Amino acid sequence: MNHSIQNLPTSISISIPIPESARQIAQTFAQEQFNPEKARQVYLNTLSVLVVNTYLQMLDIPTDLENSHSWSAIGRLCADVADLAIEGIGTLECRPVRINANFCPIPAEVWHNRIGYVIVEIDTACQAGKILGFLPQVTSMSVDINQLQSLESLLEHLYRFRLVQLRQWLMGTYETRWEPVEKLFGQAGQTDSVMAFRSPRFKGVELNTPEKIHQAIAQLFINPGKGVGRELEQLKWANKSNIDLIVNLLQTIDDEEIRWNLAEILWMIDPDHPLVKARRILDLGMLLVGHPIALMVGILQKLDHTFAILTRLYPMEPKSYLPPGVKLIGLYENGEPFQEIQSRSKDDYIQFKFSAESREKFSIRVSLEDVMITENFIL
């Protein structure tokens, strides 16, 4: 499909015009400095950041200038920074060079906490900035302009770093690679789908009639000592549809385990119900040593307005098991693991659940042998 794209010549730099308003901002920032050399540095850094900002906006990649160190008076004064925060992705360093430079100096204070380095050539009159290319990492005092990677690989790189915006799932917006569970596994009832082989049953009860579904719901409450006897009473006289009943229970019960079980039943009988529809699946394909595996993530809003999250790993082929030794790992934002489970032989899925608060970031990692795939999320 991309046939014609590949046939076009590959040139790598894009030129972004610099309007007067940008030069005025650069001048204001430069005049805060009390050393002419530093003033020139701040001027060019500011233009470079604005050029990359414009480029990313043209490509519909949201940035956060206000939260960049280059946009803080102390940041500019106390460090040689040309950083640009990109929403939900990280910080990109935008280093300026003048025309015909062969090398670009990279100050040591920006060697860390960056997801990449973009080099921008500012022309003599400061009327345009040419984005020459990018590097994913830098740990030396300067980089060779001829070693830069293309802007296309910058876009791919940013895409790998982006966070999955789970809050949007609750509002029904998803990235296309996160697919509806039914789409990947087929509709329940289809004999050849993975879901069909496990979905009609819930804890030993076949969910093929309203009575049986009601029975499955009731079963969740036959557990003395859990303090939910009242709900069971409610169940007995409730003359409601199963869906209404589950919705009612989800809105009143805070027992985590029961809530997930209810969600699971609702997924089977009404997968698009607003209360539980924030559930998607990512096809990891054959990335894990040739084993087709899919990662499912589901979110339930809790009564206290925090969120319960379920992550589950499935084999993609019908009636198959996960390869033994697959790990499903939850990581805090700083990369420290908070949960880790491993498949044994004949596991048809593995999963864990946890809670997270609004704006919290975490990662889910799937690994087998020495291959790993990490997905980053924000609530």
Partner 1 sequence: MNELETKIHLLIQETCQHPQGSLERKKGLNQIILQIQHSGKLFGGYYMYNYAEALQETWSFFCGHFCRFDPNKASVFTWLNNHLKYRLKDEWEEYIKHQKNRIPPIIKDNGEVIDPLDSLIARPEPPPILEEIHQWLRQQEHQLRRIHVRNRPDINCYVLIQQRLPPETSWSVLAPEYGVAIATLSNFYQRECFPRLLNFGKSQDYI
Residue numbers of the site for partner 1 (CB under 8 A)?
A: 1-2, 4-5, 7-9, 11-12, 14-21, 23, 27, 30-36, 38-40, 43-44, 54, 57-61, 66, 69, 71-75, 77-79, 107-113, 124-128, 139, 141, 151-152, 155-156, 159, 175-176
285: left (phi over 0), alpha (psi -120 to 50) or beta: left
Cα–Cα distance between 77 and 41 in angstroms, integer? 11
φ, ψ for residue 319, nearest 5 deg: 50, 35
Output the six-digit token pair for 111.
Answer: 């060697």
CB of 98 to partner 1, least distance (A): 9
The identity of residue 121, as a single letter, is E
**Of 141 and 286, CB closest to partner 1:** 141
Secondary structure letter of residue 148 according to DSSP: P
Amino acid of residue 288 = L
Give 311's contacts (C-beta < 8 A, 6+ positions apart). 295, 296, 297, 328, 330, 351, 352, 353, 364
Distance CA 75, CA 95 (A): 15
H/E element, 160:
helix 151-161
Question: Could you identify the residue written with the tokens 């200038």?
Answer: 65
